[in-house]
Structure 1
Amino acid sequence: MTIQLPTLNSLLPLIKANPQGNILPLSVELIADTENPITLFSKITRNQPGSVLLESVLNAEHRARYSFILTNPTETQISLEAIQNKLKNLRPIAHFDLPIFTGGYVGSVNYEMIHQFEPTVPVLGQGKVDFKRYDSIIVFDHFTSKILLISNLFLDNPLEKEFKKAKQQLTDLHQIYQQNRLIPLPELKYQPQSPSFKSTFKKSEFLQAVKKAKQAISEGEIFQVVLSQCFSTAFKGDPFTLYRALRIINPSPYMYYLNLGKRQIIGASPESLVRVQGGLVGIVPIAGTRPRGKTIEEDLQMENELLNDQKELAEHRMLLDLGRNDIGRVSELGSVFLKREAQVERYSHVMHLVSDVKGRLRKDQTLVNAFKSCFPAGTLSGAPKIRAMQLISELEKTPRDIYGGGIGYFDFSGNMDFAIAIRTFVIENGIAKLQTGAGIVHDSIPEKEYEETFHKGKANFKALNYTTLPS
């Protein structure tokens, strides 16, 4: 089966009409009504190192239109400064018939990077970024059940050479898909297990840390701080199978699988760290949690409790104000607005209070500037943010690593989208790690905050029942 590729001559009018543009995506469309993002990822990438799957369920109920598959990066180990320098030289030619994201820099920033952005915050480990550049991507369109193969032409290079390279990339992707399209995917099997978890805190130690945080609040040092504990267990299963289970158990606005070779990052995060699209910068603070009810009546009761819990509402308003300040530093004066405030969103095992803040990114600010202004999220650190992070370094015993960091992309068209790395497994050296936290305020009850860390990890713990754990 051959594919119909655009000709170079067919692109010339568009290129001539946009003489300032220097990047243009080339695309091919395939019908794929028997596929889904999981089968497609498995067939095209064969789960090789450097492969990434990005998915989304909007409002925890409706699937976003596109899922993105990335493989064969053209550049690795790229710093934020390098990304900023590369992006400022790109002038994309508009593409109205394609997804917003057609390629770019995809990866992660760990929590400890805050020390490089704000040196007054001591950290317990080394700051790390891990970005790779993808010039070609595979897009699954859930609305049309079609596949888009996309490769970018960089027009500052010789046009015929760029066209030939992009054409070859699309042909190669199509050939790999054709060769592997009949390979079946193993079924998910539920295997009830009782994994043995180790935590960075004994219960008594966590309760004591909460009391120390409350003392700092009483003394006026902070208003709120997020304390977390990291759970770890031996893991001998298939990381991609774990992702498959997690996306079914806990469909979320940000779902991701990053195969980094010796390390895999697997997550279903409900919360945006920062997003820039069409010049608007936005964050979606989440603060306030209840477990889901077992019946409709119990679920509604939990919602009513959450909406009338003054402690949860005060915490949410505080972090909402912090989010406004973060966005305000990089937005045009007077442009910051509240799209929604303290609405309940339901997920598989918990419900949260959610708000949405936006502003117009100033012309003198870059995507990386906007990222740094909002990093880390106040909902994962506290308020005031700097003192809260200093206290986290005093009370938590180990580096957070990816927990509370960011996972997402800077694209070639001047947009970015990052999730807060929560509800996220890191698989490395035969160990699965999951970190969860609780927001501590003046009225916090230590025992309940300890229990909240387990509520937030419930879906991830359940996903382990679909993988093989050591006996």
Structure 2
Amino acid sequence: MNKPVFFKKLMTKQQLNPAEILLCLSHLDHVVYLKNVKQPVIALFASEYMLVQNTKIQKFSRTSLNQYQQSFELIDLNHFFKPYSQNYSPDFNGGLIGFISYDEAAQQQVNVQHKNQPSLFLGIYYSYIKLTNEGWMFFSHEQDAETIFQLIQDALQNKNRLNKGNQNFSLTQPCTARWNKQRYASAFQQVQDYIRAGDCYQINLTQEFTAKAQGLLLDTAEAFWQLTDAPYSGYLKIDNFELLSCSPELFIDFEADRKITTKPIKGTMPRYSDAEQDEHSKQSLIHSKKDQAENVMIVDLLRNDLSVYAETGSVKTPKLFEIESFNQVHHMVSEVTATLREDVNPFHVLMSALPGGSITGAPKIRAMQIIEELEGAPRGAYCGSMGYFNFDGTGSWNILIRSIQKYQDDVSVWAGGGITIASDCDAEYQECFDKVKAMLDLLNTWYKPE
């Protein structure tokens, strides 16, 4: 795409964080935020978008500012199969942003239930805000860019009147596990039985934590992003559906010269405030043969997924079993790289590789069938992916772990881990809470019993 036809600095009395800007713009639909770019970006006023809910596909086109009508032509994904730009920059510059749920991705290969909420949203955005060294800048490729800029500017200037007509977020019941320990142990044992029978090598068994709530989930965003400091966080609102990502995991980076990189996480130990105890936890993960075995299974699975679209001999594993430390946990992370063939559409690679191997198991199709049988509820957006594509095919997509979904008054948080023949039930159950406890504790601060 050519340079923006319009760009201008947004003027505010104080430097606003992404959550504050999103709240200022919360009266607009399908405003989306991504941190998983070099420059945090907020995109708005999609020119067209595709929405899937309850397996029904709908496409809408913008007729005027914030006004849309249904169209019967699907988005042309050939937008994202053009020669890579000579002026490559590793951030969003206009293109596609959205999310694909686990349910939507898994149903490409197995029969799954769908959560009663949007399961896919893909929007084409020509107007967006990026955080630069000079502050928040507005960029647009649209003819009515000046009007859009002024609307945003007015919304930011009216920050003091923000959300006064909306009900503040609160839980009407605390967020608690849908499974008790006994129910988890039963599912764990069934996974072990499948492994011994030769059905699979590893299953990513997860459990759901649910609550009822009112008000905008967006009200909680800044607190969650400060808590997790997650590199692949994001937010999207579609009517009465909100998706808040606090994800630490990259799924695929689509880079210049058709290079792709995936960084699966498999292996977790908790963080501690005591430095000596924290280092001991980290060292335990570094030397864990069990976690290394889990990790290499998923690395092999992803190498196989990417090799279908990669140039022969280009699939490499430059990093294996590296430790990345986040606010609540240490993770074991590996890296797989490849070069896509010239005839490959990057979006097709993304859809084909989803769901990510780190959140299914191996072999993938049988793992997804077992997940569907044992987990007892559809995952929805959890373990899907959120991200962007520029018009030249570059982009970045995460794995939606450590994420919160809200549809109408239902709130959902999930956590789990990879189960192998060497897994211990008590340790795996505890790992679920190591991953999500801090988020649950924070979420439950919005519960105020009468």
User: Is TM more than 0.5 here?
Assistant: yes
**1:366: how far off?**
0.8
Three-state SS of the structure 2 residue aligned to 1:294 is coil
Match of residue 273 from structure 1: 251
Q: Distance in 1 between matches of 2:33 and 2:449?
A: 27
Q: Within the alignment, does 1:397 sit opposite 2:376 as a pair?
A: yes
Match of residue 98 from structure 2: 107
Q: Is the 8 A contact 1:222 1:384 kept in 2?
A: yes
Q: Distance in 1 between matches of 2:371 and 2:264?
A: 20
Match of residue 363 from structure 1: 342
Match of residue 37 from structure 1: 17
Q: Within the alignment, does 1:434 sit opposite 2:417 as a pair?
A: no
Q: Distance in 1 between matches of 2:394 and 2:351?
A: 15
Match of residue 241 from structure 2: 263
**1:48: how far off?**
2.6
Q: Is the 8 A contact 1:31 1:145 kept in 2?
A: no
Query: Which amino acid in structure 1 is aligned with residue 32 of structure 2?
Result: V
Of the three residues 126, 133, 143, the one matched with 2:124 is 133
Match of residue 310 from structure 2: 331
Match of residue 138 from structure 2: 149
**1:462: how far off?**
3.1
**1:274: how far off?**
1.8
Q: Is the 8 A contact 2:112 2:372 kept in 1?
A: yes
Q: Distance in 2 between matches of 1:442 and 1:215?
A: 9
Match of residue 252 from structure 1: 230
**1:434: how far off?**
0.4
Q: Counterparts in 2 of 1:68-79, with a 5 A limit?
A: 68-77=41-50
Greater CA deviation, 130-139 or 99-108? 99-108
**1:104: how far off?**
1.6
Match of residue 177 from structure 1: 153
Q: Is the 8 A contact 2:265 2:295 kept in 1?
A: yes
**1:77: how far off?**
1.8
RMSD of aligned Cα (Å): 2.9
Q: 1:457 to 1:398 in 2, by over 3 A?
A: same
Q: Is the 8 A contact 2:201 2:420 kept in 1?
A: yes
Q: Distance in 2 between matches of 1:287 and 1:401?
A: 21
Q: Within the alignment, does 1:215 sit opposite 2:193 as a pair?
A: yes
Where does structure 1 differ by over 4 angstroms across 4 or more consecutive aligned residues?
78-84, 88-96, 191-195, 468-471
Q: Distance in 2 between matches of 1:324 and 1:331?
A: 10
Greater CA deviation, 26-35 or 104-113? 26-35
Of the three residues 6, 23, 26, the one matched with 2:5 is 26
Q: Distance in 2 between matches of 1:276 and 1:93?
A: 13
Three-state SS of the structure 2 residue aligned to 1:196 is strand
Three-state SS of the structure 2 residue aligned to 1:25 is coil
Q: Distance in 2 between matches of 1:115 and 1:451?
A: 27
Match of residue 32 from structure 2: 52
Query: Which amino acid in structure 2 is aligned with residue 74 of structure 1?
Result: S
Three-state SS of the structure 1 residue aligned to 2:40 is strand
Q: Distance in 1 between matches of 2:156 and 2:437?
A: 35
Q: Distance in 1 between matches of 2:291 and 2:224?
A: 27
Largest Rg, 1 or 2? 1
Instruction: Spell out, residue by residue over 1:238-278, the C-alpha distance to the aligned partner (whole angstroms, 9 max, x if none).
Output: 31121111100001121111111201000110111222111
Q: 1:430 to 1:128 in 2, by over 3 A?
A: closer
Of the three residues 308, 314, 324, the one matched with 2:293 is 314
Q: Is the 8 A contact 1:70 1:134 kept in 2?
A: yes
Of the three residues 52, 71, 79, the one matched with 1:87 is 79
Of the three residues 412, 419, 425, the one matched with 2:391 is 412
Q: Distance in 2 between matches of 1:89 and 1:216?
A: 41
Q: Within the alignment, does 1:384 sit opposite 2:373 as a pair?
A: no
**1:410: how far off?**
2.3
Q: Within the alignment, does 1:231 sit opposite 2:220 as a pair?
A: no
Match of residue 156 from structure 1: none
Match of residue 269 from structure 2: 290
Instruction: Spell out, residue by residue over 1:333-370, the C-alpha distance to the aligned partner (whole angstroms, 9 max, x if none).
Output: 11112232211111111110011111001112111221
Instruction: Spell out, residue by residue over 1:3-22, the C-alpha distance to the aligned partner (whole angstroms, 9 max, x if none).
Output: xxxxxxxxxxxxxxxxxxx7
Of the three residues 277, 299, 314, the one matched with 2:278 is 299
Instruction: Spell out, residue by residue over 1:106-165, the C-alpha distance to the aligned partner (whole angstroms, 9 max, x if none).
Output: 1111112245432xx221237932212212111112xx132332222xxxxxxxxxxxxx
Instruction: Spell out, residue by residue over 1:56-107, the C-alpha distance to the aligned partner (whole angstroms, 9 max, x if none).
Output: 4xxxxxxx641101122221226799445341575686556x6631122211
Q: Is the 8 A contact 2:206 2:415 kept in 1?
A: yes
Q: Distance in 2 between matches of 1:193 and 1:122?
A: 33
Three-state SS of the structure 2 residue aligned to 1:318 is helix
Q: Within the alignment, does 1:124 sit opposite 2:113 as a pair?
A: yes
Three-state SS of the structure 2 residue aligned to 1:128 is strand
Q: Distance in 2 between matches of 1:39 and 1:453?
A: 27
Q: 1:231 to 1:288 in 2, by over 3 A?
A: same
Q: 1:39 to 1:192 in 2, by over 3 A?
A: closer
Three-state SS of the structure 2 residue aligned to 1:76 is strand
Three-state SS of the structure 1 residue aligned to 2:174 is coil
More strand by share: 2
Q: How many residues align?
A: 422
Which runs of no fewer than 5 residues in structure 1 stay unpaired? 1-21, 57-63, 153-165
Could you state the TM-score of these two structures normalised by the residue count of structure 2? 0.85
Query: Which amino acid in structure 2 is aligned with residue 329 of structure 1?
Result: V
Q: Distance in 2 between matches of 1:93 and 1:342?
A: 33
Which runs of no fewer than 5 residues in structure 2 stay unpaired? 52-56, 60-72, 163-168
Q: Is the 8 A contact 2:173 2:213 kept in 1?
A: no
Q: Is the 8 A contact 2:232 2:398 kept in 1?
A: yes
Q: Within the alignment, does 1:168 sit opposite 2:144 as a pair?
A: yes
**1:308: how far off?**
1.1
Q: Within the alignment, does 1:373 sit opposite 2:373 as a pair?
A: no
